[in-house]
Chains A and B, each alone.
Chain A
């Protein structure tokens, strides 16, 4: 694409990233519908679109658009309306810098790992805004839980990423993936576990969905939202799964490493990311929600020490086997 005019290239890349941002979360959502259903002995959606309900999420989107957009009377109007976008857009930015292969990447950034982690952390601000602006105590409780969760789990996540960055000697996602060898599966295994668990917590996915716990606080920060804005929050959740699954695939599973990686590297990355997303869904189906007071304990007693240990192991490995 380098022989195109610069502005055209930017537009094309942005359009491609946007398309991926709109399609991949729906793919994950549909997979969740079907995988969860079959894991529970059900069939899941079967009607929308004709063939095994493939268009169920499109139909859901149409439904959300038709619904009334309500802003509560006591709500902090502008904050309330802005929150879904603050929650959604960080994942769009993150997706832009995650490479599918060395050549298939939305934007080349040198320290892309730092950018991705920083941007993902912004997402929770949207949840916090939503909870605060809703003028609803359940929303506020949910937002507080989300914030506490993010603060706790950001640290082990960053440490796990620091470990692979240390091992690769670069902060570029592409560089890390290129430095990956199958040995990393063993060497970086504790870091991978820590990353996966804290990614689940960041996404507020079960078993870490206390911020949304519907049996305790209605729907957390999203309680007052309707229609399209609510759909944006849901989209943000699934976009988050896409981003973190791809990131996990690239950082810990070697991304495009595999047979025919010259041509099908992007397919390998997508496939690995999809597998990680299926695992995320699988965990949701299998495990119950953790109690709020168990949350901090898991992060500080188990994940942070594990991540520190991983960093130490990596450091030793880098020094001993350069």
Chain B
């Protein structure tokens, strides 16, 4: 035979014999569930309580596969002579997974961490119309959302922790410093509110897990709840800005009192000439509404 054929044949035999003795690559999928990498994009889960109907996700969605319906509700004033407040109530939140391309932009843009990636992927349907997941089904996926992955070793502290560790700026600037820190920490705080006030078993369990997961952040969250309820008390540097109010349903479940306190606190802050306001649209355009409007959703939605 020509030169090189025989070595080639032997090499072929050796290769197949070697792979015969090695482990196979077959994924026995229905019997053995796959080991998915962290941050797998399976399905999008919704924490309904965090959603302020701001529509950011719906309008950023490249496929326009998110449907949101909401209406405004008026909350009666809690004190005699007070002002009635409005908040958004989410009527419908649906994602059409037959259109979704799993880009995750909606999750990125959500300012209140209402949307999360879940690694679950087994939701094929026989009818394409059943791929529209309404908010109850999207909410059910929350139970499958894994806690966020731990930070890489040596990475800088999360923004919330770094901001909380910063000393207050000058004497009497406690609230102002807290405000600056809180702007960055807002998503965490929203989650913390939910931890404290949600009664839903599943969600609270999940967030509890998450809170344990982020040990550093936990301290921030705990302290964040307190000053909102007691504005005159001296604040720790970790205190959250009163301007960032809990999302709609949290307000609904609890008394409206803390919110009104928060609005007073915000007024106080405004009177002190706080220049570190990080929510310029909220405070500069409509300073009075910004504090009491839950989530300031109108402004963000309009932006």
Contact = CB atoms under 8 A, between A and B. Distances in A.
Interface of A: 35, 37-43, 46, 282-283, 285-287, 302
Interface stretch (B22-30, B116-124, B187-195): B22-30
B20 A39 contact: yes
Nearest to A298: B1
Interface stretch (B7-15, B132-140, B210-218, B254-262): B7-15
10 contacts: A39-B17, A40-B19, A41-B25, A43-B24, A282-B13, A282-B17, A283-B13, A285-B16, A286-B12, A302-B1
A41 B19 contact: yes
Interface of B: 1, 9, 12-13, 15-17, 19-20, 22, 24-26, 28
B14 to A, nearest CB: 9
Given A41-B25, A42-B25, A43-B26, A286 B20 contact: no
A39 B28 contact: no
Given A35-B20, A302-B1, A46 B15 contact: no
B11 to A, nearest CB: 9
A243 to B, nearest CB: 24
A286 B13 contact: yes
A46 B17 CA distance: 21
Contacts of B19: 38-41
Nearest to B27: A43
Contacts of B28: 43, 46
Contacts of A35: 20
A283 B16 CA distance: 9
Contacts of A38: 19-20, 24
B296 to A, nearest CB: 56
Contacts of A46: 28
Given A39-B16, A41-B19, A285-B16, 7 more contacts: A35-B20, A40-B16, A43-B24, A43-B26, A286-B9, A286-B12, A302-B1
Main secondary structure of the interface of B (DSSP, over half): helix
A286 B26 contact: no
Contacts of B13: 282-283, 286
Contacts, number: 36
Contacts of A285: 16
Nearest to B26: A43
B10 to A, nearest CB: 9
Nearest to B13: A286
A286 B17 CA distance: 9
Nearest to A285: B16
Nearest to B11: A286
A239 B26 CA distance: 30
Nearest to B14: A286
B17 to A, nearest CB: 7
A39 to B, nearest CB: 4
Contacts of B9: 286-287
A42 B12 CA distance: 17
Contacts of A286: 9, 12-13, 15-16
Nearest to B21: A38
A321 B22 CA distance: 47
Contacts of B25: 41-42
B148 to A, nearest CB: 35
A26 to B, nearest CB: 21
B60 to A, nearest CB: 42
B156 to A, nearest CB: 43
A41 B24 CA distance: 4
A231 B26 CA distance: 28
Contacts of B17: 39, 282
A287 B13 CA distance: 8
Contacts of B16: 39-40, 282, 285-286
A228 B25 CA distance: 34
Contacts of A39: 16-17, 19-20
Contact of A42 (B1, B15, B24): B24
- Across the A-B interface, the 10 shortest Cβ-Cβ residue pairs: A286-B12, A39-B16, A43-B26, A286-B16, A41-B25, A39-B20, A286-B13, A285-B16, A38-B20, A43-B24
A282 B19 CA distance: 12
Contacts of B15: 286
A276 B194 CA distance: 70
A287 B24 contact: no
A319 B132 CA distance: 88
Nearest to B10: A286
A41 B28 CA distance: 13
A96 B1 CA distance: 37
A39 B26 CA distance: 12
A287 B12 CA distance: 7
Q: Which of A39, A40, A283, A287 has the most CB atoms of chain B within a 10 A radius of its CB?
A: A39
A75 to B, nearest CB: 39
Contacts of A282: 13, 16-17
Contacts of A37: 24
A177 to B, nearest CB: 28
Nearest to B25: A41
A132 to B, nearest CB: 34
Nearest to B15: A286
